[in-house]
């Protein structure tokens, strides 16, 4: 019904516009008389696309086709007939692409991985142990003061205890200075921590990398000196595969990718995955001040809106399980569906799709300092 109203309104606009251009621009009357055919073809193309199975898989293309058709009508109103015809042709092209959409077409279509996810995105089969180091740097300096060596030891000792771990050392700054300068300064500070871990803890360089983020993602208000100091920080994101029950003390954040597979278009949790979810429940019971966000992610099969809803329901079902089966108070849990917006692999292969269909548990740990 909504679609019919849109198309009826579009045709009324077209007839009015055609009359207007013919009346006020006599020199182009013959050209104007041809335009309604363009609009009729566009109307038919969009209608066909909306009735096809492609509407389920490529709703964004249909929405864009409608937008271009309306823009074409508005452009014709200004009597820019050439531009109007171009817009209508593009609308018909998009409608045709949408009509041809389907599971196979979606799998074969060229795509790009949603760019770069934070280093804390948990690797499938692994978890991310995230630690903020209480290191204060002198203004415009990247040297680590001796009194902060114990902070770096949090990372060094953990990586020595678990020799299969790898780590990304992230550097951040306050907002003083240019973006380019802060990016370089944060990189130098991260590199100085990496060098200390290599020299003083014997961590192999292949297990470490440094990444500067400049003044991105401040954790405090830069309006005060205290806030600026909090933003001049170092974070270690450690990739590890260990039993969460062994983690003592807890990190500031623990990010876990749960190996939970769902049937197509289903949010039901199969019993064989209960142990995966129980791992989160056991950790949260061990540390009762923790809170968690359960994230749901999908591949790109299906429409964007459908995937968003499906990922939200899947995340909510995991939250419900943790509350009912593990006894975690619901106030400590929240669910967030991301649909297919945060791909970690290409959807062009079955393996890539499986990596993208995931549940992440992002656990924040409240620690007394």
| pLDDT tens, per residue, the chain with 369 residues | 545 555 555 554 554 444 444 433 333 333 334 444 677 788 888 888 888 888 877 887 888 888 888 887 776 655 656 677 788 888 888 888 888 887 655 444 455 545 556 667 777 777 888 888 888 888 888 999 999 999 999 999 999 999 999 999 999 998 899 999 999 999 999 999 999 999 999 999 999 999 999 988 788 888 898 888 888 889 999 988 877 777 877 888 899 988 888 887 889 999 999 999 999 999 999 999 999 999 999 988 888 889 999 999 999 999 999 999 999 999 999 999 999 888 888 888 888 888 888 899 999 865 433
What local confidence, expressed as pLDDT, does residue 368 receive?
A: 38
Note whether 234 and 282 are within 8 A (CB).
no
Dist CA 255 CA 258 (whole Å): 10
What local confidence, expressed as pLDDT, does residue 9 receive?
A: 55
Domain 257-369 has CATH 3.30.1330.60: yes
Task: Assign residue 62 a region (left: φ > 0; alpha: ψ between -120 and 50; beta: otherwise).
Answer: alpha
Domain residue limits, the chain: 2-101, 127-240, 257-369
Residues 6+ apart with CB under 8 A from 194: 169, 205, 208, 209, 210
Instruction: List the beta bridge partners of residue 291.
Output: 364
Q: Which DSSP letter does residue 292 get?
A: E
Alpha carbon of 305 to those of 67, 113, 337: distances in Å?
A: 18, 19, 11
Asked if 127-240 and 257-369 have one fold, the answer is: yes
What local confidence, expressed as pLDDT, does residue 344 receive?
A: 83
Buried b (16+ CB within 10 A) or exposed e, 238-277: bbbeeebeebeebbbbbbbbbebebeeeebebeeebeebb
Note whether 75 and 87 are within 8 A (CB).
yes
Note whether 120 and 128 are within 8 A (CB).
yes
Dist CA 98 CA 59 (whole Å): 7
The token pair at 253 is 């954040």
What local confidence, expressed as pLDDT, does residue 80 receive?
A: 59
Class of domain 127-240: alpha beta
Dist CA 258 CA 331 (whole Å): 21
SS3 66: helix
């Amino acid at each position: 019904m909504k679609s019919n109203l849109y198309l009826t309104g579009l045709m009324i606009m077209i007839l009015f516009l055609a009359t207007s251009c013919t009346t006020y621009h006599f020199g182009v009357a013959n050209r104007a008389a041809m335009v309604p055919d363009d609009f009729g073809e566009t109307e038919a193309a969009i209608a066909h696309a909306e009735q096809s199975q492609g509407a389920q898989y490529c709703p964004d293309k249909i929405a864009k086709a409608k937008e271009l058709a309306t823009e074409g009508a508005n452009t014709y109103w200004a009597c820019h007939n050439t531009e109007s015809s171009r817009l209508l042709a593009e609308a018909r092209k998009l409608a045709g692409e949408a009509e041809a959409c389907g599971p196979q077409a979606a799998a074969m279509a060229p795509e790009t991985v949603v760019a770069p996810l934070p280093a804390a995105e948990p690797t499938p089969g692994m978890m991310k142990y995230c630690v903020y180091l209480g290191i204060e740097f002198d203004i415009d300096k990247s040297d680590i003061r001796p009194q902060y060596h114990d902070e770096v030891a949090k990372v060094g000792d953990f990586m020595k205890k678990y020799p299969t771990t790898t780590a990304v050392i992230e550097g951040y700054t306050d907002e003083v200075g240019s973006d380019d300068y802060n990016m370089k300064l944060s990189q130098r500070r991260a590199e100085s921590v990496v060098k200390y871990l290599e020299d003083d803890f014997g961590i192999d360089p292949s297990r470490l990398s440094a990444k500067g983020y400049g003044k991105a993602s401040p954790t405090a208000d830069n309006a005060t000196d205290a806030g600026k100091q909090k933003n001049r920080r170092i974070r270690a994101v450690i990739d590890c595969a260990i039993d969460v029950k062994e983690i003592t003390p807890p990190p500031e954040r623990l990010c876990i990718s749960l190996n939970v597979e769902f049937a197509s278009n289903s949010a039901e949790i199969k019993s064989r995955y209960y142990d995966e979810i129980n791992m989160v429940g056991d950790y949260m019971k061990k540390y009762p001040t923790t809170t968690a966000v359960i994230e749901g992610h999908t591949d790109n099969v299906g429409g964007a809106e459908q995937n968003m809803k499906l990922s939200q329901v899947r995340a909510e079902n995991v939250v419900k399980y943790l509350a009912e089966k593990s006894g975690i108070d619901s106030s400590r849990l929240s669910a967030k569906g991301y649909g297919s917006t945060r791909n970690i692999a290409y959807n062009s292969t079955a393996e890539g799709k499986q990596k993208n269909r995931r549940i992440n548990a992002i656990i924040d740990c409240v620690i007394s300092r």
